[in-house]
Amino acid sequence: MPFTVLTAEFVSENNTFKKGLTELHDFEVDTLLEGDAAIAARREANTELAGFVDVAEKEGWRVIHTISAAASPSSPVSRVAYDQIAAVITDAVAANKDRINGILLSLHGAQVTEFCEDGEGELLARIRAITGPDMLIGVTLDLHANVTRAMVRDAQMWVSFKTYPHIDMRACGVQLAKMMGEAMAERTHPVTLRRDVPMMDEVNSGRSDEGPMVPLYEEARLQEEEPGILSVSLNAGFSDADIKEMGPTVLVTYDKGEAGAEARAGEIADAHARAIWDARNSVANVFLGIDEAAAQAAAFDTAKGPLVIADYSDNPGSGAYGDATNLLAAMLKAGLKDAVFAPMIDAEAAAELHRHKVGAVVTLAVGGKNDPAFGGGPLTLTGTIMHLSNGNFRGDGPMLGGLDRTYGTTAVFKVDGIEILIVTEREQMLDRQQLYAFGIDPTKRKTLALKSMQHFRAAFEPIAGKVIVCDSGALSTPQMSRRPYRNVRRPIWPLDPDTTF
C-alpha cells in the first residue's frame, strides 16, 4: 500500500513590541487556502508545500493537504485566528489518524500568540495529543526561528532554511519529505537534539551571503552527508519576539538506529553552537544614520546601477510598522532626484490619494501614524499622484517567483524628486515586481530606499551599483536596548555583556 501523508502550512512571525493583533484578515491578505486550492496556488512556486508534493508524486504517496495559512510578520496572532487555523489541521489529523503514515508541516518558528509564547509548540502539542507518541512528524522552519524545547519534544524531524535571503524553501520541503519517506519505510528512526546559545539572535541574523554563518551553512550541508546524520539546522533566532526561549539554536536530526550517530550529532550541535557564540562580535553590516545615508545617495555615481538603501529598522518582514518617516525626511532634505521610497505602509494616505485622479496635486500627512517614537512621525507632503492601483502583483524573482501578492489600495506619490509607494497591506521589499507593477522601473532610478533587512538583496542587489544599510530608529532597530524586554531569559547577550557560554 502507498504511504499517506498529511500536510499543512501555518506560517507567521510575530513581533511582540508591535501594537495590535494579527487577525484572520491578515492571513486572508497573504495566504489562506485549503486543500486542493492551496496546492494549485502554491504547487509551482518556491514553497515548502511544492517540495513536499514533488517527493509525494515521485513516490506515489497520497497527500491530504489541510491548509496553507501565512501572514506577513506583524503583532501576535489573536486567539480567534490561531484557533480557527489550528482547528483545520487538528480536525484533519483526528479524522485521518488511522490512515496516515506521517505529517509534514511548514511552520516559521517565531510564532507568538496573544495567549502563549510558542505558537508552533502549542500546535505540535495539540497534534501529538491526537496521534499519540509514535506518529512521524516532520517540520520545516524559517531560519529566523526561536526553537523551543516543546517544539523539539513533539516532532522527530526538522529542516530549517540555510539561505537568507530565503531562496531554498522548496529544496527544504524536498529534503524533509525524503527524510519522511525513509522513516515511514522504517529504514531510519529519526530523533532530534537541540542546543541553544545565550544570545538574542545571531549577530548578522543568519546572513548566508556574507559573514560568519556562510562557512557554517556549508559545513552543515556536508555533515548531512555523514552516516546517520539526517539534517543540521542552524537557527539565527528572532529577537523581535520577547519570549523566554528567544535566540539561536542548533538542531541535529539523526538516525538513532545508526551506531555512533547520537554522539556525532552532539559533537556537531556543540561545535555549531560554540561557533555562533564565538562570532558574536563579527558584524557584517555597517549601520548608517539617516543623514549619512542621504548624503551618500546625493553624491553617488550611478554608472553601475542605483544606490540601494536598506531601511533596516523599519522592515515589515520583522514586524516593524513600515511607516517610519525619518529616512524619507532626510532624503527630501538632501534634495534627491530620481529616487524611490518603498513601501510606505499607510492605509489612510493610500485611501485619500484614491479619492483623486492620476496627475492631481495633493497635500496630505504621510506615515508615522502608528508609533512616532520609533522612526518618526507624520510628514505633511505636497506631491503629484503618478499611479493608482489595487496593489496586485505577481512575483518573478528568486523568492516570490510565481506567487501572487497584494498591497491593497496603492498609490505612487511623487514629492519633489522622490516617488513614494504608498500601500495598504503589509509586505517588505523582496521582488522587483513590487515596483514594476506600479510603473516604477528600478533600473532607471538613482536611489532605491527599500524597507527590508536582507531579503531585498535577492532581487535588487544584482542591479545595484552599491548597497548601504540604514538604521532609521524604527521598531526593528539593531539597538536592542531601546526595546522594553520583559520575558526573555537573563543573562543574555548583548543586553548583558558579561554573559558567558
Q: What DSSP line would sit under 87-156, residue for residue?
A: HHHHHHHHHHTTT-SEEEEEE-S---BSS-S-HHHHHHHHHHHHH-TTSEEEEEE-SS----HHHHHT-S
Angle (CA) 94-96-99 rounded to 5° is 135
Euclidean distance between CA atoms 266 and 254, whole angstroms: 10
Inform me whether the pLDDT recorded for 401 exceeds 90. Answer: no
Q: Which three cell numbers stand for residue 475?
A: 521598531
pLDDT at position 270 over 80: yes
Give the percent of the chain with pLDDT over 90: 98
Stretch 313-333: mean pLDDT: 96
| Statement: residue 402 has pLDDT above 90 | no
Is residue 408 within 8 A of residue 327, CB to CB? The reply is no
Half-sphere exposure of 48 (CA within 13 A, CB side): 30
The pLDDT mean for the chain works out to 97
Contact (CB, 8 A) for 89 and 123: yes
Q: pLDDT value at position 77?
A: 98
Write phi, then psi, for 190 (nearest 5 degrees): -75, 145
pLDDT at residue 146 is higher than 80: yes
Residue 450 identity (one-letter amino acid) = L
Strands 392-394 and 404-406: what pairing?
antiparallel
pLDDT in tens, 456-490: 999 999 999 999 999 999 999 998 888 899 999 99
The residue-averaged pLDDT of 441-445 equals: 98
pLDDT at 126: 98
If 0-12 CB within 10 Å is exposed, 13-18 middle and 19+ buried, where does residue 356 land?
A: middle
Distances (CA, A) of 402 to 50, 92, 162, 224, 463: 12, 28, 21, 30, 21
Report which residue type is found at 401.
G
In the predicted model, is pLDDT for residue 71 greater than 90? yes
Share of the chain above pLDDT 70, in %: 100
pLDDT (average), residues 98-104 = 98
| Per-residue model confidence (pLDDT) at position 481 | 84
Could you tell me which of 121, 114, 4 has the C-alpha nearest to residue 62? 4
Distance CA 420, CA 404 (A): 22
Written as one letter, the residue type at 443 is T
Across 198-205, average pLDDT? 96
The C-alpha cell 538583496 sits at 457
Closest CA to 45 of 360, 407, 453, 400: 400
CB atoms within 10 A of CB 280: 18
Q: What is the pLDDT of residue 436?
A: 98
Residue listed under C-alpha cell 550541535: 269
Listed residue (127, 122, 149) closest to 138, CA to CA: 127
Contact 240, 217 (CB under 8 A): no
Q: What is the DSSP string of 436-486?
A: HTTT--GGG-SEEEE--SSTHHHHHGGG-SEEEEE--S-TT-S-GGGS---
pLDDT of 261 over the 80 cut:
yes
pLDDT of residue 480: 85
Residue 124 has pLDDT above 80, yes or no: yes
Check residue 305 and give its pLDDT. Answer: 98
Rounded distance, CA 362 to CA 277, Å?
52
From the list 98, 92, 71, 72, the residue with the least C-alpha distance to 82 is 71
pLDDT higher than threshold 80 for residue 1? no
What's the pLDDT at 269?
Answer: 98
User: Rounded distance, CA 177 to CA 169, Å?
Assistant: 12
State mean pLDDT over 35-50.
95
User: Residues for the chain: how many in total?
Assistant: 501
Paired with 102 in beta bridges are 5, 136
Cell of 312: 533596516
